[in-house]
Amino acid sequence: MTVQDSTHPIIKACNIEKKFSNIKALDGVSLEVFRGEVVALLGANGAGKTTLISHLLGQLTPDSGELSIAGHTPGSLAARQNIGVILQSAQMPGNLTVKEHIELYRRYYPAPLSLKEILSIVKLSDLQHRKFYTLSGGQKQRLFFALAICGQPKIVFLDEPTVGLDVEARRDFWQCIRQLKAEGTSILLTTHYLEEADALADRILLLNNGKIIKQGRSETIKSQLGGKRIRFKTAMADCHFKALSFVTQIQHRGDFTELFSSNAEETLKDLFTQQFKIRDLSVEQVSLEDALLSLSNNNPTTQEYAA
């Protein structure tokens, strides 16, 4: 079930500008996030993701533009009570137990989940009496997630939430995100794992040099590059392949030439008819990483996408 209210965005940012001396960290960013929507904020190092989130949390004020969280000014008590956060740099008192941390955070919110519910969602019931400093990286990450959701916030900010998690823990975490979304919670996610953004996000926002250079559904962004990637090794020059039907772009990765095609069957037919000398041929779906790299390469203001 998608629970979206298109008239009242939970996050509203309008034309936000922020400069740090001569660096334009945010350059006219506008954004709306609705109830039950998962939005992935992507971009290379230094693109402006943290700066944008810091504004939404009320830790920075914009030079110009307007921001609101559930209709409230970022940083105000009313806005903070609508927010749950996991930050990369979360620093916790090491001697408090899991249970103590959760109980402390529950007090900040008017209608928190019960301790039992929270422990069960994040699968930390058995570790509730363990001190923070004794937890593994993945267990700490689950506790951070517990603290982010304990107040039943309308919006959860997740900054690189699955760094350090093993494959199984990451899949469990994705399940928690989907559950939150189904209950109507909005999620703003930053991640360098593009597979994660692809799997979870309703909408991708690509920031570059403080500007949103692309936004849309992951499928739509991928389809702009063509549906398939045809990979092979060859000694022949690109000009031979450019003329093949349905080729949208050519790139090189290591020893391989890669053709993106919006109709792989027709491109392959053409390729074989011409009897070009190729080897180690494979055909794959275009990934979100392919699509974002291509956008970066075609955007003159863009540095290489570093995800």
For ligand ATP, the binding residues (CB under 6 A) are 20, 23, 25, 43, 45-51
- CB nearer to ligand ATP: give 46 or 227: 46
Smallest distance from ligand ATP to CB 91, Å: 17
- CB nearer to ligand ATP: give 20 or 272: 20
- CB nearer to ligand ATP: give 16 or 177: 16
Smallest distance from ligand ATP to CB 41, Å: 8
Q: What does the block give as tokens for 274?
A: 């011409």
Give the angle subtended at the CA of 216 by the CAs of 212 and 220, to the nearest 5°.
Answer: 135
Kindly give, in sequence order, each residue whose CB lies less than 8 Å from that of residue 254, ignoring residues fewer than 6 positions away.
none
Give the angle subtended at the CA of 154 by the CAs of 164 and 112, to the nearest 5°.
Answer: 85
Identify whether the C-beta of residue 110 lies closer than 8 Å to the C-beta of residue 81.
Answer: yes
Task: Residue 180: name the closest of 241, 117, 228 by CA.
Answer: 117
- CB nearer to ligand ATP: give 98 or 156: 156
- For residues 16 and 8, give the distance between their C-alpha atoms in angstroms, rounded to a whole number: 19
Task: Residue 248: name the closest of 259, 257, 258, 239 by CA.
Answer: 259
- CB nearer to ligand ATP: give 39 or 247: 39
Smallest distance from ligand ATP to CB 167, Å: 23
Smallest distance from ligand ATP to CB 25, Å: 3
- For residues 209 and 143, give the distance between their C-alpha atoms in angstroms, rounded to a whole number: 33
Smallest distance from ligand ATP to CB 171, Å: 24
* Number of C-beta neighbours around residue 142 at 10 A: 23
- CB nearer to ligand ATP: give 49 or 211: 49
- For residues 172 and 165, give the distance between their C-alpha atoms in angstroms, rounded to a whole number: 10
Smallest distance from ligand ATP to CB 209, Å: 8
